[in-house]
Structure 1
Amino acid sequence: MKSYYNSPLHKEIEACPCGSRIEVASVHDCVWGSWSMNLPTLWSMEKAVTEYAGKFDVYINLSGDTLPVYTQNRIARLFGGPLRGINFITSSACETGLVPTSLMDFPKKWHKRSHYSHQPATQLEYVDDEGVIHHDIEVDIYFGSQWMSLTPEYCEFIVRQLARPDSLSSRFRDWLIETGKLMSDETFFTSILMRYFPETIPKIDKDMFLQTANEDEDVSMYAIRYERMDEHVPSSNGYFPTEQRYEVPDSTGVEKPRPWGPYFLGTYDLNDIRLSGALYIRKVAQVIDPNLYRILPVEEPQQIPPISWPKDVQISPVPDWAKQITQLRKQAADKLKEKKEKNI
C-alpha cells in the first residue's frame, strides 16, 4: 500500500478521479507462477459482479506497468460498440495473437506443452447446473493472459461456478493447485472461456486481424494489448526477434525483466504499437522512457508517430565523465612535471 501512495498512479487519481469510484486494497500475497496469481483477479471480479452488477460494460484487468494507448473516450466508445460482447484474453505476445492458443499448437518439446502434458487434466468429476454428475471429464488447455478484457456475462459465470465446489471450474482449479501447475494465470480463465464461451472470442481474418460486424469505427487490430516478450531466441513457431530493445540501467533502480517476461517499451516501439491496434501497452516506466507518457494516450491511431528502431545503428555507451576528467588532470600534471624537468 505504501508503494501505491508514493506512486504516479496515486497522484494522477487524486488529481482527476473523473467521477470514478476508486478502491485500493492489498488482500493477497502472490507468488510468481503459482495459483495465487489468480486471487487478486478473482477478488476484483467478484466485487464487480456483486457490488456493480448491471453497472459495467466490460471488466478490464491490467498490470500496474500498463499504459493506455488511447483516451478513455475512445476505449469506452469501442467497448460500447464494435468490441461489445467480445472476450479478449490474449496479447501480442501470445502465439496466436487475439485468439487463445491451444496446448496442442505448441511443439511437443516446448516447455508449456510438456509441463501441462505431463499430467493432463483428465478424469475430472463435476456436477453441472442441472445437478447431473459427469465422470472422467477432460479439460482442453488453452493459453492466454491474466491481463484481459471480459464481458460481464463471463465474469458472472466464473464467480457463480467457483461458488460451487463441485462445478467443473472449481474442479479444474483444484487440479491446477494439486498438481502444482505453473502459469495457471495464463490457463485457467482461458481454458474455461474456450469450453463454455468459445463464440465470444475475437473473430479474425487470414492475416490475424480482428473482424467486426461494425465498419463505422476503425478497429484495425491484431492485439488488445501490445508487449514484447522475446528472449532473442526462437519462439515456439520459429520466430527469431532481431529488433533492438530497451535495457534497464542499474542507475534507474528498476527491477530488470525476468527471463520470458515482458521487456520495457519506449518511443522507438511506437510504430509497432500503432500497427498492432492495441488499446494498451505493457511494460512502461518513467525512468526508462518518459517520452511515451508525453505522447500517449491519443484519440486516433493517426496521432501516434510512426517511430521505429533505427536500422544498423548502435547506441553508444554513456561516457564516464568523472573518469575522463581524472585522466585529463593526470595528463596535465604529467605534462607540467615533464616541462619542469626539461627546464632543470
Structure 2
Amino acid sequence: MDATGPLSSDGLVQLLDHQGNAVGDDVYSPYAAHLTPDDLRAFWRDMTVLRSWDLEATSLQRQGELGLWVQSLGQEAAQIGSGHALREPDFVFPSYREHGVAMTRDVDLVEILRIFRGLQHGAWNPQDHGFHLYSLVIGTHALHATGYAMAMDRDGLVASGHPERDGATVCYFGDGATSQGDVSEAMVFASVHQAPVVFFVQNNQFAISEPATRQSRVPIADRGKGFGIPSVRVDGNDVIACHAVTQWALQHARSGNGPVLIEAFTYRMGAHTTSDDPTRYRSKAQETYWAERDPIARLDAHLTQRGELSDEFRALVTAEAKALGQRTRESVRGWERPATTTMFDHVYALPHATVDADRAWFERYERSFADVEAAG
C-alpha cells in the first residue's frame, strides 16, 4: 500500500489480518460483539456460495448464454458483511455488482441473470426485498437513495425508538462513482437534510481501467468530510470489520444523526465486466498481492484456527453451491425470448400516451416484415 493517498492504510478499520488472525485484544468488540460462531459460518457460507455462483455466471457468459456479466469476485466480504447488518425497515439502492447484498436480502441469484441475458430491466420486486433494481448508470441512484431517505425521515420512520420501524437507506457504488456529479449532489442534500443514508463505497481500486490514484489524491472516504458527513475507512476484505462498521453506520443513521460515508477498501479480483481485459492495466504482482488477501480465505483461516469450520459443514456448503450452479445453468438455458414489445411495459407507473403510440408504431413495423414475407 502507499504511505498516503487513496491506496494507503491510513485509518483503516481492521479486525482480522490477511492471515485470519485477530487484530487487537477483542476481534468482536464493540459493534460485532453480537456475532456468534453460527453467524460467522453463515458469512463464510454466503461468500463461498456467492463466489461459486459468480464463476458459474461467468462461464455462462463465455458460452454465449449471457450478453454480459459483472463479477463480484474479491468483493464478497464487503457485500456479505454489510448486507448482514441490514434489517427489514432498511432499503438498499445497489449499482450493478451487489450480488452479495442481493443475496442477503433474499433476492434469488438466478433471477438476477435475466437482466444480463437481456430479458428484463429488473427481475425482482424492490418492495418485497427492500432492495431496489440495479442501476447501470454510474452514480444516479445516490440521488434516489437520498430522496428515499429524506422521505423516510418525513414519514416518521427514523429515530422513533422502535427497532421494527426505524430504518435507513444504503447506497452502494464504486470508487469511480465518487467522481460523478450525481454523487456529489446526493451528498449535499443528505448532509443538509440529515438524511438517514449510508453511502457505501466499494473501492476496488479501478473505475474500469482508471486506477484510484488517478481519481483522487486522498483516501476516498475523505470526500465525505467536505460535505460534513462522518466518514470511515474499513478493510473491505475483512467481513467482520465490514459488518461492524456498517452496523455502527446504520445505527447512526436510523437514530436521526444523519448520513455516513463508508469506504470499503478492497480489490476487484476479476475483470470490470466480461468485456474487459484487466491484464492491460494492472500487473501480475499486484494480483498476487491481493490474492493473498482473499476475503474468503481470511475468514476460513480464522474459523479453522478456532475449530469452528467442520468438514461436514464444508461438505454441506459445497453441495449447496453445486446445486445452485446446476439450477442456474438449467434455468438460464431454459428461458425463452419474450415478445419484443415487452420493452414498452412498465416504462411509467400509469398508462402514457407517448409510450402507447411508440408501441403501436413498433407493432406496425414488426408486422411489415411478415407482410413482405407473405407477399414474396
Question: Normalised by the size of structure 1, how large is the TM-score?
Answer: 0.31
Question: Normalised by the size of structure 2, how large is the TM-score?
Answer: 0.29
Of Structure 1 and Structure 2, which has the larger fraction of its residues in helix? 2
Q: Which has the larger radius of gyration?
A: 1
